[in-house]
């Protein structure tokens, strides 16, 4: 049996293991190690697995992941999400659908310090859903806005998906973070525009709330000062070259702990919960990265990435048509595979194709994140929808999925704008390099 055939069997084994609900990390390790053993030998496979596990968990470059996770967890327990929501509501609550727009705005701010889509969705669901119930918002709009708003945590830096993409493709983490800022703000703006149009046509979806006084609006900004300072410190430091992404993560984590102390939200019990969640989340991500590395080595010796790249490059189609096919693939696959797993599995295959076609790797990274962002609000995976449904158990999942569909259309529009105008995401990183 030739290596390509073994590679195809390995991919089939991976999907079979995933269908058994096996964690994606262990599924990739098992299928990758088994395939590598068949192509090379079992001794080499065992040595490869043990070496990759040790190298991943001791990697200096990967230390950026637990540091940013620590920053997000600390910010959550410091009550930053509540301050963001109150400020956004003070400014936008009087508009049709204002509470839903405030939720999107708060998701944007919290995503800038969380780096996690599901984490942002869970935090905002706890803060915003009771308020939207109180003001008689449609549960379809409420659930959809929280699920879609939570997806902004994947695009707004620091994003774990960006970090993993950078490590796989050997791109600058700082450049990718900067590339995600403008598209993230654009998507948030389109989400708010969608809410405003829908609620203007049908006020029963999101009734306007009371208009806050100007003094109350400006007082509410006190609750977002720490978020703005933290974001400016982390992103500004990388943009101007004061420190590396790893140093930025360390400074961000340390600063968030100082903020929590200053707000008197940090004691031994809270610190224990923060550290426990940080370790749990970081280990999960690092195990997934380890599995992806092992599976990637198996794919490399099977020569499947090179075969696929050569096949795409030989298609009698212009470069933009090939790219359109790749985008459609990610759009479809994102509905069935977890975002991080999808990036880890497919980027090693498609990145050589994109590079050969001459597309900018930073732009491709933003497109990948945007396309996987769609997957977190579309069935059957739709992890953000399940997160919101798990917190608001009386709302049917189909209601939340239905409410998320208008936001999906905005994401598709955003993808079209990035394809037509790549400078939307490229001007900021390259102006800072």
* % of the chain residues with pLDDT over 70: 96
What would the mean pLDDT of 8-24 be, rounded to a whole number? 82
Contact between 338 and 24 (Cβ < 8 Å): yes
The SS3 of residue 149 is helix
Q: How far apart are CA 151 and CA 104, in angstroms?
A: 10
CB-based burial label for 115 (10 Å; 0-12, 13-18, 19+): buried
CA distance 161 to 154: 7
Residue 262 has pLDDT above 60, yes or no: yes
The pLDDT value given to residue 367: 92
Residue 351: both structure tokens together = 């990145």
Bigger pLDDT: 201 vs 1: 201
**Which two three-digit tokens encode residue 83?**
């301050």
Given a contact cutoff of 8 angstroms between Cβ atoms, the answer to whether 377 and 152 are in contact is no
* pLDDT tens, residue by residue, 343-398: 877 788 888 888 888 889 999 999 988 988 888 888 766 778 887 887 777 888 88
Mean pLDDT across 312-336: 79
Q: Kindly report the average pLDDT of the chain as a whole number.
A: 82
Gyration radius of the chain's alpha carbons: 22
- Write the pLDDT tens digit of every residue in 325-344: 888 888 877 776 667 777 87
262 Cα distance to chain centroid: 29
The stretch 237-251 carries a mean pLDDT of: 79
Which range, 20-29, 224-233, 390-399, 413-422, has the best average confidence (pLDDT)?
A: 413-422
Contact present, 144 and 104 (Cβ < 8 Å): no
CB 79 within 8 Å of CB 296: no
Q: List Cα–Cα distances, 358 to 126, 171, 326, 329, 331, in angstroms.
A: 44, 15, 14, 19, 21
Q: Compute the average pLDDT of residues 301-324.
A: 77
Confidence band, pLDDT 50/70/90 cuts, at residue 106: confident
Per-residue pLDDT at 336? 67
Residues 108-153 have pLDDT tens digits of 877 776 666 676 777 777 778 887 888 888 999 999 998 898 888 7
Backbone angles phi, psi at 315, to 5 degrees: -65, 140
C-alpha–C-alpha distance, residues 207 and 106, integer Å? 19
* Residue environment code for 301-315, b if the CB has 16+ CB neighbours within 10 A, otherwise e: bbebbeebbeebeee
How does pLDDT run across 180-224, given as a tens digit for each residue? 989 999 999 999 999 999 998 988 888 887 788 888 888 877 767
- 229 vs 223, 225, 331, CA distance in Å? 11, 6, 35
Contact between 273 and 77 under an 8 Å Cβ cutoff? The reply is yes
Would the pLDDT of 81 be above 70?
Answer: no
CB contact at 8 A, 104 and 146? no
Lookup: tokens for 374: 């769609």
Nearest alpha-carbon partner for 27 in 321, 252, 349, 290: 290
Where along the chain do its domains lie?
3-431
pLDDT at residue 6 greater than cutoff 70:
yes
Give the global pTM: 0.76
pLDDT band at 243 (very low <50, low <70, confident <90, very high): confident
In this predicted structure, the answer to whether residue 432 has a pLDDT above a threshold of 60 is: no
State residue 78's pLDDT score.
73
Least confident of 15-19, 51-55, 138-142: 15-19
Residues with Cβ within 8 Å of 109's Cβ and at least 6 positions away in sequence, in order, are 84, 88, 224, 227
Q: What share of the chain is helix, strand, coil (3-state, %, to 5)?
A: 80, 0, 20
Spatial separation of the C-alpha atoms in residues 390 and 269, rounded to whole Å: 25
- Alpha helix (H) residue ranges in 303-338: 304-314, 319-333
Helix (H, G, I), strand (E, B) or coil at 369: helix
Q: What is the pLDDT of residue 114?
A: 65
């Amino acid at each position: 049996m030739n290596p390509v055939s073994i590679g195809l069997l390995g991919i089939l084994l991976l999907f079979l293991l995933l269908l058994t609900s096996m964690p994606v990390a262990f599924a990739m390790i098992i299928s990758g190690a088994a395939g590598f053993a068949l192509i090379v030998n079992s001794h080499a496979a065992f040595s490869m697995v043990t070496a990759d596990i040790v190298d991943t968990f001791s990697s200096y470059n990967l230390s950026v992941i637990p540091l940013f996770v620590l920053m997000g967890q600390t910010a959550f327990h410091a009550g930053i999400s509540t301050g963001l929501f109150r400020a956004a509501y003070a400014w936008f609550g009087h508009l049709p659908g204002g509470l839903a727009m405030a939720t999107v705005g708060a998701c944007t701010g919290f995503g800038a310090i969380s780096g996690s889509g599901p984490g942002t969705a869970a935090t905002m669901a706890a803060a915003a859903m009771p308020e939207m119930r109180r003001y008689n918002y449609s549960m379809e709009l409420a659930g959809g806005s929280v699920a879609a708003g939570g997806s902004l945590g994947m695009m707004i830096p620091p994003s774990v998906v960006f970090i993993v993409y950078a490590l796989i493709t050997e791109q600058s983490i700082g450049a990718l973070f900067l590339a995600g800022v403008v598209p993230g703000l654009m998507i948030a703006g389109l989400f708010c525009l969608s809410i405003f149009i829908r609620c203007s046509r049908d006020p029963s979806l999101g009734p306007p709330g009371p208009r806050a006084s100007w003094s109350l609006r400006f007082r509410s900004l006190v609750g977002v000062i720490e978020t703005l300072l933290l974001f400016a410190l982390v992103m500004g430091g990388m943009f101007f070259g004061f420190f590396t992404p790893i140093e930025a993560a360390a400074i961000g984590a340390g600063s968030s702990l100082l903020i929590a102390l200053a707000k008197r939200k940090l004691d031994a019990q809270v610190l224990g919960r923060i550290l426990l969640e940080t370790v749990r989340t970081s280990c999960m991500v690092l195990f997934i990265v380890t599995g992806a590395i092992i599976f990637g080595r198996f794919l490399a010796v099977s020569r499947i990435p090179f075969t696929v790249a050569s096949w795409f490059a030989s298609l009698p189609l212009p470069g933009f048509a090939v790219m359109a096919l790749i985008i459609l693939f990610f759009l479809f696959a994102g509905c069935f595979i977890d975002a991080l797993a999808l990036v880890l599995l497919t980027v090693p295959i498609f990145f050589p194709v994109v590079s050969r076609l001459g597309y900018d790797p930073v732009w491709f990274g933003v497109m990948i994140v945007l396309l996987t962002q769609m997957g977190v609000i579309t069935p059957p995976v739709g992890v953000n929808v399940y997160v919101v449904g798990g917190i608001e158990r009386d709302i049917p999942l189909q209601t939340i999925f239905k409410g998320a569909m208008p936001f999906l259309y905005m994401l598709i529009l955003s993808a079209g704008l990035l394809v037509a105008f790549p400078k939307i995401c490229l001007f900021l990183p390259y102006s800072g390099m």
